[in-house]
Structure 1
Amino acid sequence: MWTAIILSALAMTAIVALRYLAASGVFALVTNRVRPGYHARLGQQIRREIGWSLASAAIYGIPAGVIAWGWQEHGWTRIYIDWNAYPLWYLPIAPLLYLFAHDSWFYWTHRLMHRPRWFRVVHAVHHASRPPTAWAAMSFHPWEALTGAVVIPVLVFAIPIHVTMLGLVLLIMTVMGVTNHMGWEMFPRRLVHSRLGEWLITASHHQRHHEEYKCNYGLYFRFWDRVCGTDRGLSPNA
């Protein structure tokens, strides 16, 4: 049993690490084409970002691997495979619930980590990326990585979700985590400045957080920033 659990944890860590390297690598290449010179003189910073991110991959991967083993062997979690287990209208609802719950947890823990003592101990690693790059998406101190790593493992025990919809959640997490740190806005202005865009976080919104620190704390949505008065709009530099 323990061998199977360890192998599952190692496999999931490898998957998280490879997913990070692939996604960040692709968008870093795009950045080099669209913004030539953006990464100039950032080699040491990027190497540091990759190092912290690979450490974070283990922190994310180990609990995910244990839970994946428990789901397959003992039916842990509320992840389901049968399309008829819940009404079809529920399929898109579950990802929205996951993303909103994750966004809410992220907003409040993120604000906490900007308190001076927490910032110095935990969050300064992430903000050492000046300017942020596509490689900074998982560049966290281990304690910060742990606050992010617990979210999906907790949610799969609480909220039913089809395995394909869980894959969609993980895809959105990966893409938004990377693209929000690229330092430039890849999405069209007509989307970013639309009514929908006023509630979604993209690079130009998160870039302002990295510039001013005490604003724009959200991850996917601008809901909590707007409710709490911490939304300062988009960065003119992204």
Structure 2
Amino acid sequence: MLTAIALSALAMTVIVALRYLAASALFAWITARRLPGFYAKLGPQMRREIGWSLASAAIYGVPAGVVAWGWQHRGWTQVYSDWDSYPLWYLPLAPLLYLLAHDAWFYWTHRWMHRPRPFRIAHAVHHASRPPTAWAAMSFHPIEALTGAVVIPALVFVIPIHVAMLGVVLVIMTVMGVTNHMGWEMFPRRLVHSRLGGWLITASHHQRHHEEYKCNYGLYFRHWDRLCGTDKGLSANA
């Protein structure tokens, strides 16, 4: 059993690492095509980002692998595979619930990471990316990676979700994590500055966090920043 769990954790680590490398490489390539030379002087920084991110992949992969094994072999979790287990209207609701829960956890742990001691010990690794690049999405100290690694594995025990919708959550998490760190805004201005865009976090919102630190702590949505008075709006440099 322990061998099977270890192999599951190893497999998930490889999957997380490949997902990160594929997404970051894609958006780094888009950046190179859209803004030639934008990352030209950031080679050493990007290599550090990749190193920290691959270490983070292992930290994310272990709990994910344990939970995946438990789901497959012991029936753990609220993940289901039959389309008719819940009403069809619940299919899109579950990912939204996951994103809202993840966003709340991230906002408050992220604010905690900006207290002097946690910042110095852990979060400074992420903020060493100046400016952040498409490779910085998982560039975390192990302590910070651990705070992020437990969220989805914990939620699958609490909130029922179809396995395909869980895949949607992971895709959104990966794409937003990468695109929010690209250093430039790839989404159309009419979306970013629309009423809907005013509630979503994109690169121009998160870029301001990397510029000023004490603001814009959210991950997907801006409601916690607005409720808590930490939303400083969009960066002029992204």
Q: Same fold (TM over 0.5)?
A: yes
| Cα offset, 1:122, TM superposition | 1.0
In structure 2, stretches of 5+ residues that fail to align are none
| Cα offset, 1:117, TM superposition | 1.0
Counterpart amino acid of 2:164? T
> Which secondary structure state, in structure 2, belongs to the residue aligned with residue 88 of structure 1?
coil
Q: Deviations over 1:113-153 (max 9, x none)?
A: 10111100010000000010000000000000000000001
Partner of 2:8: 8
Partner of 1:194: 194
| Cα offset, 1:62, TM superposition | 0.8
Partner of 1:137: 137
| Cα offset, 1:219, TM superposition | 0.1
User: Aligned partners of 1:193, 1:58: CA distance in 2, in Å?
Assistant: 37
> Which secondary structure state, in structure 2, belongs to the residue aligned with residue 57 of structure 1?
helix
Partner of 1:105: 105
User: Aligned partners of 1:71, 1:115: CA distance in 2, in Å?
Assistant: 37
Counterpart amino acid of 1:81? S
| Cα offset, 1:23, TM superposition | 0.3
| Cα offset, 1:18, TM superposition | 0.3
| Cα offset, 1:187, TM superposition | 0.3
Partner of 1:64: 64
| Cα offset, 1:35, TM superposition | 1.2
Percent identity, aligned pairs only? 82
| Cα offset, 1:103, TM superposition | 0.2
User: Aligned partners of 2:199, 2:37: CA distance in 1, in Å?
Assistant: 31
Partner of 1:114: 114
> Which secondary structure state, in structure 2, belongs to the residue aligned with residue 129 of structure 1?
coil
User: Aligned partners of 2:178, 2:207: CA distance in 1, in Å?
Assistant: 12
Counterpart amino acid of 2:169? V
How many residues end up aligned between the 2 structures?
Answer: 238
| Residue 30 of structure 1 pairs with residue 30 of structure 2 | yes
| Cα offset, 1:36, TM superposition | 1.2
Counterpart amino acid of 1:77? T
Partner of 2:79: 79
Counterpart amino acid of 2:91? L
Q: Deviations over 1:57-83 (max 9, x none)?
A: 000001101110110001000000011
| Cα offset, 1:213, TM superposition | 0.4
User: Aligned partners of 1:96, 1:18: CA distance in 2, in Å?
Assistant: 25
Partner of 1:174: 174
| Cα offset, 1:51, TM superposition | 0.3
User: Aligned partners of 1:20, 1:83: CA distance in 2, in Å?
Assistant: 29
> Which secondary structure state, in structure 2, belongs to the residue aligned with residue 18 of structure 1?
helix
Counterpart amino acid of 1:40? A
| Cα offset, 1:2, TM superposition | 1.3
Partner of 1:224: 224
| Cα offset, 1:37, TM superposition | 1.3
> Which secondary structure state, in structure 1, belongs to the residue aligned with residue 63 of structure 2?
helix
Partner of 2:150: 150
User: Aligned partners of 2:52, 2:203: CA distance in 1, in Å?
Assistant: 21
User: Aligned partners of 1:118, 1:16: CA distance in 2, in Å?
Assistant: 25
In structure 1, stretches of 5+ residues that fail to align are none
| Cα offset, 1:26, TM superposition | 0.4
Counterpart amino acid of 2:90? Y
TM-score computed with the length of structure 2 as normaliser: 0.99
| Cα offset, 1:163, TM superposition | 0.3
User: Aligned partners of 1:116, 1:5: CA distance in 2, in Å?
Assistant: 37
